[in-house]
Amino acid sequence: MRFIVCVKQVPDTTEVKIDPETNTLIREGVPSILNPFDQFALEEAIKIKQENDEIVAISMGPPQAKKALLKCLALGADKAILLSDKAFSGADTWATSYTLTQCIRKIGVFNIIFCGLQAIDGDTAQVGPEIAAQLGIPQITYVESIEKLEGKKLEAKVQTDDGYKIVEAKLPALITGITPSSFEPTNPPMMNIMKANKKPFSTWTIDDIGGSSDNYGLNGSLTEVIKVYSPPARQQGIVIEEEKSEAAVQKLIELLSKDKVI
């Protein structure tokens, strides 16, 4: 079987801080990382991989996104393809999914496409379903884990509003989600990082994947970001420290009723 894992290099938004004086983003010193959710998806692919199966990690991004793909190779992907071209920049979710779809078509045969729950910078969770729609294959979103893989069928545990469900899908299919037991993404051992450099890695441009240039990047984007700004800062709160819990609760109730919260 061939599994394709779609990944993204993102700024580590958990490291982002807000300048309290200007209320703007402090970007300095924020590292670029492999999107943690994509790593979890990759790890699920590795978990179900059998001998003779192949995992291909693909990513659209600037040349430095190679680093994220090298991490995928070190974690256990067999091959990696970076889609990098000036023409791809400024892509919204539709143009991104078009680019990845073109790449997947070029790769040819596949059985499962994995996407992370969402990217931690954009948080849209739209690219996965948009790829599935463009390829015309079924999608399963909010997958917690893959329970079974037999022949041309996949069984997955899927999150619902009030619990979970077990679904069965005919392959090929695209899944998004995968929630790990710990949010801290692990780093591959040094040995594997060295080996990763020897695994097949290619960079593809628009010439490699074809299609109309009108569909890529800013030209292919249907949405347009017209303004980016900091959300209003939260007001400094009141923290009650009292020896006796009764007194603290009393004080809180007074404050809540004074401010008409209750």
Partner 1 sequence: MIIVDKEKCTGCGICEKACPFGAIKIVEKIAVIGDECTLCGACVDQCNLKAISIQRKKFEDVDLSQYQAVWIVVEIKDDKVRNVSFELLGKAIELANELKQDPCVLLIGNNVKRFIQDFSNRGAKKIYIAENEDLKDYHTETYSSVITGIISKYKPNIVLYPATINGRDLAPRVAATLKLGLTADCTGLSIKDGLLLQTRPAFGGNIMADIICPISRPQMATVRPNVMEMAVIQDKINTEIIEIPVKVDIQGLKVKTKEIIRGTASECGIPVCEADTIVSGGRGVGSKENFNIIENLASVLNAAVGASRAAVDLGWIPKSQQVGQSGSTVSPKIYIACGISGTIQHLVGMKSSDIIIAINKDPNAPIFDVANYGIVGDLKTVVPLLTEALKKRLQNNN
Q: Are 152 and 170 in contact (CB under 8 A)?
A: yes
Q: Which two tokens stand for residue 211?
A: 């299609």
CB of 132 to partner 1, least distance (A): 7
Q: For residue 62, give the nearest of 39, 36, 85, 35 by alpha carbon.
A: 85
Residue whose CB is less far from partner 1, 191 or 233:
233
CB of 133 to partner 1, least distance (A): 4
**229 makes contact with partner 1 (CB under 8 A):** yes
Q: Are 81 and 72 in contact (CB under 8 A)?
A: no
**155 makes contact with partner 1 (CB under 8 A):** yes
Q: For residue 76, give the nearest of 28, 16, 7 by alpha carbon.
A: 7
CB of 8 to partner 1, least distance (A): 11
Among 161, 190, 191, 198, binds partner 1 (CB under 8 A): 161
Of 6-65, binders to partner 1 (CB under 8 A) are 11, 13-14, 16, 18, 24-25, 27-28, 30, 32, 37, 62-64
| 32 CB-contact burial (10 Å; exposed 0-12 / middle 13-18 / buried 19+) | middle
Q: For residue 98, give the nearest of 217, 4, 10 by alpha carbon.
A: 217
Query: What's the distance, CA 178 to chain centroid?
Result: 10
Stretch that binds partner 1, among 69-77, 107-115, 122-130, 199-207 (CB under 8 A): 122-130
CB of 129 to partner 1, least distance (A): 4
CB of 257 to partner 1, least distance (A): 7
Residue whose CB is less far from partner 1, 110 or 142:
142
Among 43, 54, 111, 133, binds partner 1 (CB under 8 A): 133
Of 168-187, binders to partner 1 (CB under 8 A) are 168-170, 173, 179, 181-183
Residue whose CB is less far from partner 1, 54 or 144:
144
Q: Which two tokens stand for residue 258?
A: 């004074």
β-pairing verdict for 139-150 and 153-160: antiparallel
Of 79-108, binders to partner 1 (CB under 8 A) are 89-90, 92-94, 97
Q: Are 45 and 175 in contact (CB under 8 A)?
A: no
- DSSP label at residue 87: G
CB of 208 to partner 1, least distance (A): 18
Stretch that binds partner 1, among 66-74, 191-199, 201-209, 246-254 (CB under 8 A): 246-254
Work out the angle at residue 236's Cα, subtended by the Cα atoms of residues 233 and 242, and round it to the nearest 5 degrees: 155
Q: Are 212 and 177 in contact (CB under 8 A)?
A: no
- The pattern of x and - marking residues 196 through 225 that bind partner 1 according to CB under 8 A reads ------------------x--xxx-xxxxx
Residue whose CB is less far from partner 1, 76 or 90:
90
Q: Are 126 and 116 in contact (CB under 8 A)?
A: no
**112 makes contact with partner 1 (CB under 8 A):** no
User: What is the number of other CB atoms lying within 10 angstroms of the CB of residue 46?
Assistant: 17
